[in-house]
């Protein structure tokens, strides 16, 4: 599917981006100098792949380092913002001047990760989102970040519900609130926070209790809206942009052909992609026709629409009349030392959670 102005406009209309800051003078501008990402497989740009010795997800048939058939929405978002955040593994060997993607496939909103059950005994434990935030906090404490000029992307919750570990939204929302407060305390001021699509309408939802998953998705999104509103009122110097992925998926599912999809289902089962070699012709065609690549993960074309929705949401918060505060530079040596500290701590935390 080729991107066009018409789908972009329809997605933009589906976005509910609410001014959550107390003062309009805090409105975000799209000239962020760094991008930090926290989340699960929908946002992972290679962390799981590197941490598991390039075994998770298997590539091919998955796109290298992505739980999809191509780039994911954070790839497209970074491209639109002309920012290229690195993975944690890459940050261990070189400075990360444009940010870091901390997201790991399987991450819950807390400290657990569903994909740990897939790893051989003795493997380092993959982190949940709260652990990802802890890693970032160590980076910020080292002085290697300029948080006022960065965009902080946060999208999590699906793994809590799909796994059955959470049957209500109370604990996941508590985790999200704590994570946002932790990021704020480390200097973060520009947030992009996504809600959930209707998990009951997803392919995995059709096999794991669609009614219950639809109900908890609504509960999560309603609670998240309140949480973000309260957070913005209490933290009036922060800018919080809400990304309504629920509206995006609902719009596409109601009008799939308008967005170039012939199916709102999935091309493959996860087991098929993990343990067999699908027909190459079917692999090539899937990404052009289906909304989901497997039961859990959208195709790259669906990810592109999510990124377009994110840009529309961020642009709706723009206020070009407000001058941007001067950036606080960080000496290069200090930045490199800080990155070494946080990546070293990251390895220690992952090992500790294995014990």
Q: At what angle do helices 245-254 and 300-315 cross, to 10 degrees?
A: 130
Please report the pLDDT score of residue 179 as a whole number: 98
What is the number of other CB atoms lying within 10 angstroms of the CB of residue 237? 12
Residue 74, pLDDT above cutoff 90: yes
Q: pLDDT tens digits for 130-186?
A: 999 999 998 877 766 556 689 999 999 999 999 888 999 999 999 999 999 999 999
CA distance 288 to 133: 35
Please report the pLDDT score of residue 143 as a whole number: 66
- Dump the DSSP string for 68-108: SSS--HHHHHHHHTT--PBPHHHHTTS--TT-BB---TTB-
77 neighbors 96 (Cβ within 8 angstroms): no
What is the number of other CB atoms lying within 10 angstroms of the CB of residue 231? 19
CA distance 116 to 98: 29
Q: String of b and e for 71-88 (b: at least 16 CB within 10 Å)?
A: bbbbbbbbeebebebbbb
* Alpha carbon separation from 234 to 180, 184, 231 (Å, rounded): 12, 11, 5
Residue 349, pLDDT above cutoff 70: no
Share of the chain above pLDDT 70, in %: 79
Q: pLDDT tens digits for 203-248?
A: 888 877 889 999 999 999 999 999 999 999 999 999 999 999 999 9
Q: Residue 251's closest CA among 81, 1, 8, 57? A: 8
Q: String of b and e for 310-326 (b: at least 16 CB within 10 Å)?
A: bbbbbebbeeeeeeeee
Domains of the chain, by residue range, sit at 5-354
Q: At what angle do helices 300-315 and 73-80 cross, to 10 degrees?
A: 40
Please report the pLDDT score of residue 329 as a whole number: 34
Residue 70, pLDDT above cutoff 90: yes
CA distance 117 to 54: 17
CA distance 304 to 291: 11
What is the number of other CB atoms lying within 10 angstroms of the CB of residue 234? 11
CA distance 20 to 96: 30
Write down the number of H helices and E strands in the chain: 13, 6
Share of the chain above pLDDT 90, in %: 57
Q: What is the arithmetic mean of pLDDT over 71-94? A: 92
pTM (global) more than 0.85 = no
- The CA angle 28-29-31, to the nearest 5 degrees, is 135
pLDDT band at 340 (very low <50, low <70, confident <90, very high): very low
Q: Residue 68's closest CA among 76, 57, 79? A: 57
pLDDT band at 9 (very low <50, low <70, confident <90, very high): very low
CATH of domain 5-354: 3.40.50.1110
Mean pLDDT of the chain: 81
Residue 353, pLDDT above cutoff 80: no
Q: Residue 307's closest CA among 76, 62, 115? A: 76
Between 154 and 354, the higher pLDDT residue: 154
CA distance 67 to 56: 9
Q: What is the arithmetic mean of pLDDT over 99-108? A: 96
Please report the pLDDT score of residue 29 as a whole number: 52
């Amino acid at each position: 599917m080729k991107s066009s102005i018409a789908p972009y406009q329809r997605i933009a209309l589906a976005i509910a981006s609410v001014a959550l800051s107390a003062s309009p003078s805090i409105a975000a501008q799209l000239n962020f100098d760094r991008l930090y990402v926290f989340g699960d497989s929908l946002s992972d740009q290679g962390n799981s792949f590197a941490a598991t010795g390039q075994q998770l997800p298997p590539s091919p048939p998955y796109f290298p380092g992505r739980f999809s058939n191509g780039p994911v929405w954070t790839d497209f978002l970074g491209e639109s913002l002309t920012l290229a955040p690195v993975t944690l593994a890459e940050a261990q060997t070189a400075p990360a001047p444009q940010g870091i993607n901390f997201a790991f496939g399987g991450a819950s909103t807390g400290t657990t990760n569903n994909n740990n059950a897939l790893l051989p005994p003795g493997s380092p434990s993959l982190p949940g989102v709260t652990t990802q935030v802890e890693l970032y906090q160590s980076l910020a404490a080292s002085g290697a970040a300029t948080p006022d000029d960065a965009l902080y992307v946060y999208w999590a919750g699906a793994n809590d519900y799909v796994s059955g570990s959470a049957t209500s939204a109370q604990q996941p929302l508590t985790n999200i609130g704590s994570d946002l407060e932790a990021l704020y305390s480390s200097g973060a001021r520009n947030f992009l926070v996504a809600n959930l699509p209707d998990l009951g309408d997803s392919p995995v939802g059709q096999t794991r209790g669609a009614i219950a998953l639809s109900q908890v998705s609504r509960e999560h999104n309603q609670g998240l809206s309140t949480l973000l509103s309260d957070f913005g009122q209490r933290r009036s110097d922060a800018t919080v942009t809400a990304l309504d992925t629920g509206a995006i998926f609902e719009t596409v599912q109601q009008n799939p052909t308008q967005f170039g999809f012939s199916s709102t289902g999935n091309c493959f089962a996860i087991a098929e992609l993990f343990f067999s070699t699908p027909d190459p012709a079917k692999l090539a065609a899937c990404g052009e026709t289906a909304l989901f690549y497997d039961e859990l993960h959208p195709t790259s074309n669906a990810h592109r629409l999510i990124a377009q929705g994110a840009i529309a949401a961020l642009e709706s918060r723009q206020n070009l009349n407000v001058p941007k505060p001067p950036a606080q530079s960080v000496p290069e040596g200090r930045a490199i030392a800080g990155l070494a500290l946080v990546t070293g701590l990251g390895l220690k935390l992952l090992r500790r959670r294995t014990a």
